[in-house]
Amino acid sequence: MPELPDVEGFRRVVADHATGSEVRSVRVLDPGVVHTSATGFTRALEGRVLGEPIRWGKWLRVPTRSRPEYPQLLAHFGMTGAFVWTSGEDADHRHDRVVFEFRDGSLRYRDMRKLTGLWLATEESDVAELLGELGPDAAGVSRRDLRERLTRTSRRLKPALMDQTAVAGLGNLCVDEILWRSRLAPTRSTADLDSAQWARLHARLRSVLRSSSRVGHVPDRPSWLTGHRDERDARCPRCSTALKRSRIGGRSTVWCPQCQPC
């Protein structure tokens, strides 16, 4: 689930319910997801007031309202993670790994597969080390930046757009949707797009992210390519041609051979 639009939804969960509130207690139900000792993690955050969360690509940073905003909580959601807010007496979900308790509810880091997790940053260098060479956030990237960063290497569009160090935030569904709307085949090389195609790619990228972020995921409506990913004899919502499906860059990829010619 979690790509940029999903993480944007989790950012809103934190901003709407937890920002400005004191963490009364932290329950680490699965020590495997916090990359410090469970007691160290708990001790660092209990009694702190959370600040405004910031999303960068698929990462979420939650500062604390202390002198220089540290420690900071850094969250990544892998393929199955989420932040879920519950108010009232909800029992723990079986995949709740960490629960932050507030006066009026609980913020739950819920993740089935535990591919990534939560980290604590004590200073800015911790953040830099964790996020590594993350590219500019895809939701705000300029056309010029997009082109420049994707043409640093010559490779197929699909893996190029998925590369978080080139541009941060795009995942498998986003990329297929963007390429379909841009009428560009995922196998096309970043080296041979003309200016009009770069302009269209940038425009579609921005609009797909804007509308997806509003709902907190890539919509699976019938008018979207994503709405047909899981169908057996899926057809293009635009031209009804049978959609193609294969593995590109190790990821399942769906595209329309008619609308997106090689």
Which sequence positions are flagged as catalytic? 2-3, 58, 251
For DNA, which is the closer residue by CB, 21 or 80?
80
Instruction: Tell whether omega for the bond before 257 is within 30 degrees of 0, i.e. cis.
Output: no
CA 188 from centre of chain = 24
Judging by beta carbons within 10 Å of its beta carbon (0-12, 13-18, 19+), is residue 222 exposed, middle or buried? Answer: exposed
CA 82 from centre of chain = 10
Which residues sit at the interface with DNA, rule CB under 7 A? 1-3, 6, 57-58, 76, 78-80, 94, 112-116, 132, 153-156, 159, 162, 164, 171-173, 217, 247-252
Least CB distance to DNA at residue 228 (A)? 13
For DNA, which is the closer residue by CB, 24 or 113?
113
Q: What phi, psi does 9 have (nearest 5°)? A: -65, -40
74 forms beta bridges with: 61, 119
Least CB distance to DNA at residue 24 (A)? 27
Q: Can you give the length of the chain in residues? A: 262
Least CB distance to DNA at residue 12 (A)? 16
Least CB distance to DNA at residue 66 (A)? 27
Q: Report the run of H or E that residue 178 belongs to, with start and end.
A: helix 172-182
For DNA, which is the closer residue by CB, 96 or 102?
96
For DNA, which is the closer residue by CB, 88 or 132?
132
Question: Could you tell me the end-to-end alpha-carbon distance of the chain, in angstroms, rounded to an integer?
Answer: 29
